Amino acid sequence: MKIDILTLFPEMFTGFKNESIIKRAIENKYVEVNIHNFRDYSNDPHQKVDDYGFGGGPGMVLMPQPIFDAVDALKTNDSIVILMTPQGKVFKQDTARELSLKKHLIFICGHYEGYDERIRSICDMELSIGDFVLTGGEIPSMAICDSIIRLLDGVINHDSTEYDSFTENLLDYPVYTRPANFRGMEVPEVLLSGHHANIEKWRREEQIKRTKERRPDLIEKS
């Protein structure tokens, strides 16, 4: 998979690309992640990318020209162009799985007051990570890319994703490690039994119980 991210603040992605699982995925060539400053595509002598909005109003609006030209330069027949915006569809695990099957993703990270509306015309999807507003689309794009990259074949053990929270619209089951008794809190006996069928049964029951308690809205979809 190839991922291109358009942003005004490429330095924000340094840690994202150079730590932990994402770093290993890039080094092992499961994914290619490129960060582009769309100021580089501006026709303005001073690399200006924003201007005042027609009709007045607060803040600056991102101009269409730099973003259109950047997408034109990067897009192929395999590309899915994704606009990061609080007005977009809320990102879910199903969307992560869907996008993990694509060959090329282009993310557009906005800043300032918003996008010129015409930028939406070149996008295949508009995504949000929740009903709140951040200073820009960089952090949401990192979260979404992380969610997608971990699903790529070879990046992490398949068993680690099979029972993820939100798989089958259920939350994950509780997990424990050593010691078996910590400050009077004991690991459930079934996990120490070595009886794999009983362990799987307990885990499934705990998934359902936890989801009912914490996210009853997911049970209706399950």
Residues that are catalytic:
86, 113, 150, 164
DSSP state of 18: S
How many distinct helices (H) and strands (E) make up the chain? Answer: 8, 10
| Position 1, amino acid | M
DSSP track, 118-141? GGGGG-SEEEESSSS--SBSHHHH
How far, CA to CA in Å, does 29 sit from each of 74, 105, 107, 113?
19, 16, 20, 36
Q: CA-CA distance, 60 to 48, in Å (whole number)? A: 11
The β-bridge partners of 80 are 105
